[in-house]
Amino acid sequence: MVSTKAKPGTFEAERRVFRQHGGVMRTQQAIDAGVHPRDLYAMRDCGVLEKLSRGVYRLTELEPLSHPDLVTVAMRVPDGVVCLLSALAFHDLTTQVPHAVHLAIQRGSEAPRVKHPPIDLFWFGGKAFSSGIKTHELDNVPVRIYSPEKTLADCFKYRNKLGVDTAVEALKLYAESGQTRADEIMRCARICRVANVMWPYLEAIL
Protein backbone atom coordinates (compact mmCIF):
# COMPACT_ATOMS: atom_id res chain seq x y z
CA MET A 1 0.00 0.00 0.00
CA VAL A 2 1.43 3.39 -0.99
CA SER A 3 1.60 6.00 1.78
CA THR A 4 -0.02 9.34 1.05
CA LYS A 5 2.05 11.10 3.69
CA ALA A 6 4.27 13.81 2.20
CA LYS A 7 8.03 13.38 2.36
CA PRO A 8 10.16 16.05 4.09
CA GLY A 9 10.90 18.86 1.66
CA THR A 10 7.86 18.12 -0.49
CA PHE A 11 6.01 21.28 -1.53
CA GLU A 12 8.61 23.38 0.26
CA ALA A 13 7.95 26.47 -1.87
CA GLU A 14 4.21 26.17 -1.29
CA ARG A 15 4.73 25.61 2.44
CA ARG A 16 6.82 28.78 2.51
CA VAL A 17 3.93 30.73 0.98
CA PHE A 18 1.60 29.47 3.69
CA ARG A 19 4.10 30.27 6.44
CA GLN A 20 4.36 33.82 5.12
CA HIS A 21 0.61 34.14 5.67
CA GLY A 22 0.57 32.69 9.17
CA GLY A 23 -0.02 29.13 8.02
CA VAL A 24 -3.70 29.65 7.14
CA MET A 25 -5.00 30.70 3.72
CA ARG A 26 -8.15 30.74 1.65
CA THR A 27 -8.06 28.92 -1.69
CA GLN A 28 -8.11 32.04 -3.85
CA GLN A 29 -5.60 33.75 -1.57
CA ALA A 30 -3.18 30.84 -2.01
CA ILE A 31 -3.67 30.76 -5.78
CA ASP A 32 -3.10 34.52 -6.01
CA ALA A 33 0.12 34.02 -4.03
CA GLY A 34 1.41 31.52 -6.59
CA VAL A 35 0.22 28.13 -5.33
CA HIS A 36 -1.16 26.08 -8.23
CA PRO A 37 -4.62 24.60 -7.53
CA ARG A 38 -3.29 21.14 -8.40
CA ASP A 39 -0.56 21.48 -5.76
CA LEU A 40 -2.99 22.90 -3.21
CA TYR A 41 -5.26 19.86 -3.42
CA ALA A 42 -2.27 17.50 -3.53
CA MET A 43 -0.99 19.10 -0.32
CA ARG A 44 -4.38 18.47 1.23
CA ASP A 45 -4.54 14.87 0.04
CA CYS A 46 -1.08 13.96 1.35
CA GLY A 47 -1.54 15.62 4.73
CA VAL A 48 0.53 18.78 4.34
CA LEU A 49 -2.65 20.85 4.69
CA GLU A 50 -5.78 20.35 6.75
CA LYS A 51 -9.12 21.69 5.64
CA LEU A 52 -10.64 23.95 8.30
CA SER A 53 -13.74 24.83 6.31
CA ARG A 54 -14.76 25.14 2.70
CA GLY A 55 -11.94 26.96 0.94
CA VAL A 56 -9.81 27.44 4.08
CA TYR A 57 -6.60 25.43 4.57
CA ARG A 58 -3.91 25.31 7.26
CA LEU A 59 -0.47 23.74 7.50
CA THR A 60 -0.62 20.58 9.60
CA GLU A 61 2.93 21.19 10.87
CA LEU A 62 1.68 24.02 13.09
CA GLU A 63 0.56 23.72 16.70
CA PRO A 64 -3.18 23.03 17.15
CA LEU A 65 -5.38 26.11 16.89
CA SER A 66 -6.30 27.74 20.19
CA HIS A 67 -9.58 29.14 18.80
CA PRO A 68 -10.34 27.01 15.72
CA ASP A 69 -13.95 28.11 15.21
CA LEU A 70 -13.24 31.83 15.59
CA VAL A 71 -10.22 31.62 13.29
CA THR A 72 -12.13 29.69 10.64
CA VAL A 73 -15.08 32.10 10.69
CA ALA A 74 -12.73 35.09 10.52
CA MET A 75 -11.12 33.61 7.42
CA ARG A 76 -14.47 32.92 5.77
CA VAL A 77 -16.19 36.17 6.82
CA PRO A 78 -13.44 38.77 7.39
CA ASP A 79 -15.94 41.66 7.60
CA GLY A 80 -17.93 39.98 10.37
CA VAL A 81 -17.52 40.61 14.09
CA VAL A 82 -17.69 37.94 16.81
CA CYS A 83 -20.50 38.99 19.14
CA LEU A 84 -22.87 38.04 21.95
CA LEU A 85 -22.30 34.60 23.51
CA SER A 86 -19.15 33.88 21.49
CA ALA A 87 -17.66 37.23 22.49
CA LEU A 88 -18.63 36.59 26.12
CA ALA A 89 -16.84 33.24 25.99
CA PHE A 90 -13.74 34.84 24.50
CA HIS A 91 -13.67 37.45 27.27
CA ASP A 92 -14.38 34.83 29.99
CA LEU A 93 -17.68 36.49 30.85
CA THR A 94 -19.94 33.43 30.71
CA THR A 95 -20.14 29.89 32.02
CA GLN A 96 -21.99 28.80 28.89
CA VAL A 97 -20.36 27.02 25.97
CA PRO A 98 -21.48 28.43 22.60
CA HIS A 99 -22.75 25.75 20.20
CA ALA A 100 -22.33 28.11 17.24
CA VAL A 101 -20.26 31.19 16.53
CA HIS A 102 -22.37 34.31 17.09
CA LEU A 103 -21.39 36.69 14.30
CA ALA A 104 -22.51 40.24 13.57
CA ILE A 105 -22.54 41.46 9.99
CA GLN A 106 -23.45 44.82 8.51
CA ARG A 107 -27.17 45.27 7.98
CA GLY A 108 -27.94 44.87 4.30
CA SER A 109 -25.05 42.46 3.70
CA GLU A 110 -25.64 39.11 2.07
CA ALA A 111 -25.63 36.20 4.47
CA PRO A 112 -22.35 34.27 4.17
CA ARG A 113 -22.52 30.61 3.23
CA VAL A 114 -20.66 28.83 5.99
CA LYS A 115 -21.58 25.25 6.87
CA HIS A 116 -18.73 24.59 9.28
CA PRO A 117 -18.37 25.71 11.95
CA PRO A 118 -22.05 26.52 12.57
CA ILE A 119 -22.78 30.23 12.89
CA ASP A 120 -25.68 32.32 14.17
CA LEU A 121 -25.94 35.58 12.24
CA PHE A 122 -27.03 38.93 13.64
CA TRP A 123 -27.48 41.99 11.45
CA PHE A 124 -26.28 45.17 13.15
CA GLY A 125 -26.62 48.63 11.63
CA GLY A 126 -24.78 51.95 11.95
CA LYS A 127 -22.82 52.54 15.16
CA ALA A 128 -24.31 49.41 16.67
CA PHE A 129 -22.17 47.52 14.16
CA SER A 130 -19.06 49.70 13.96
CA SER A 131 -18.56 50.61 17.63
CA GLY A 132 -16.44 48.58 20.02
CA ILE A 133 -14.66 46.40 17.45
CA LYS A 134 -11.27 45.14 18.59
CA THR A 135 -8.97 43.07 16.38
CA HIS A 136 -7.19 40.17 18.10
CA GLU A 137 -4.41 38.11 16.53
CA LEU A 138 -5.46 34.51 17.13
CA ASP A 139 -3.20 31.84 15.68
CA ASN A 140 -1.71 34.50 13.35
CA VAL A 141 -5.14 35.41 12.00
CA PRO A 142 -6.82 38.79 12.69
CA VAL A 143 -10.19 38.16 14.35
CA ARG A 144 -12.63 41.01 14.95
CA ILE A 145 -14.41 40.73 18.32
CA TYR A 146 -16.54 43.25 20.17
CA SER A 147 -15.04 44.67 23.37
CA PRO A 148 -16.36 43.42 26.73
CA GLU A 149 -18.35 46.63 27.24
CA LYS A 150 -19.97 46.54 23.79
CA THR A 151 -20.72 42.85 24.23
CA LEU A 152 -22.50 43.49 27.54
CA ALA A 153 -24.70 46.13 25.89
CA ASP A 154 -25.44 43.78 22.99
CA CYS A 155 -26.42 41.00 25.39
CA PHE A 156 -28.93 43.23 27.14
CA LYS A 157 -30.27 44.30 23.73
CA TYR A 158 -30.73 40.64 22.78
CA ARG A 159 -31.82 39.55 26.26
CA ASN A 160 -35.01 38.01 24.91
CA LYS A 161 -32.95 35.66 22.76
CA LEU A 162 -30.06 34.94 25.14
CA GLY A 163 -31.95 35.27 28.41
CA VAL A 164 -31.68 38.01 31.02
CA ASP A 165 -29.78 35.59 33.30
CA THR A 166 -26.99 35.33 30.71
CA ALA A 167 -26.64 39.11 30.49
CA VAL A 168 -26.70 39.57 34.27
CA GLU A 169 -24.18 36.77 34.83
CA ALA A 170 -21.86 38.41 32.30
CA LEU A 171 -22.14 41.76 34.07
CA LYS A 172 -21.32 40.12 37.42
CA LEU A 173 -18.27 38.35 35.96
CA TYR A 174 -17.21 41.64 34.38
CA ALA A 175 -17.46 43.36 37.78
CA GLU A 176 -15.36 40.61 39.36
CA SER A 177 -12.60 41.16 36.78
CA GLY A 178 -11.59 44.38 38.52
CA GLN A 179 -11.22 46.21 35.20
CA THR A 180 -14.61 47.83 34.94
CA ARG A 181 -15.35 50.85 32.78
CA ALA A 182 -18.86 51.98 33.64
CA ASP A 183 -18.67 55.05 31.40
CA GLU A 184 -17.79 52.88 28.40
CA ILE A 185 -20.60 50.46 29.19
CA MET A 186 -23.09 53.32 29.27
CA ARG A 187 -21.73 54.74 26.01
CA CYS A 188 -22.28 51.37 24.35
CA ALA A 189 -25.67 51.01 26.05
CA ARG A 190 -26.80 54.32 24.57
CA ILE A 191 -25.65 53.19 21.10
CA CYS A 192 -27.62 49.97 21.53
CA ARG A 193 -30.57 51.88 23.04
CA VAL A 194 -30.61 49.86 26.25
CA ALA A 195 -29.26 52.48 28.69
CA ASN A 196 -32.49 52.59 30.69
CA VAL A 197 -32.61 48.80 30.83
CA MET A 198 -28.99 48.42 31.95
CA TRP A 199 -28.77 51.27 34.44
CA PRO A 200 -30.51 49.49 37.38
CA TYR A 201 -28.25 46.47 36.92
CA LEU A 202 -25.15 48.64 36.73
CA GLU A 203 -26.10 50.43 39.96
CA ALA A 204 -26.67 47.13 41.74
CA ILE A 205 -23.63 45.22 40.45
CA LEU A 206 -20.80 47.65 39.65
Contact present, 70 and 56 (Cβ < 8 Å): no
pLDDT of residue 153: 97
pLDDT in tens, 130-167: 999 999 999 888 999 999 999 999 999 999 999 999 99
Distance from C-alpha of 79 to C-alpha of 109, rounded to nearest angstrom: 10
Instruction: List the domain boundaries for the chain.
Output: 12-59, 68-205
pLDDT of residue 50: 85
Q: Is the model's pLDDT at 54 over the cut of 90?
A: no
Q: Is the model's pLDDT at 21 over the cut of 70?
A: yes
pLDDT of residue 165: 95
pLDDT in tens, 90-136: 999 999 988 899 999 999 888 888 878 899 999 999 999 999 999 99
Mean pLDDT of 181-198: 96
Q: 3-state class of 75 per DSSP?
A: helix
CATH number listed for the domain at residues 68-205:
3.30.460
Residues 6+ apart with CB under 8 A from 153: 185, 188, 189, 191, 192, 194, 198
Distance from C-alpha of 119 to C-alpha of 101, rounded to nearest angstrom: 5
H-run or E-run covering 13: helix 12-20
Distance from C-alpha of 63 to C-alpha of 54, rounded to nearest angstrom: 21
Distance from C-alpha of 189 to C-alpha of 194, rounded to nearest angstrom: 5
pTM as predicted: 0.78
Q: Is the model's pLDDT at 1 over the cut of 50?
A: no
Distance from C-alpha of 175 to C-alpha of 57, rounded to nearest angstrom: 39
Pick the residue with more confidence: 122 or 57?
Answer: 122
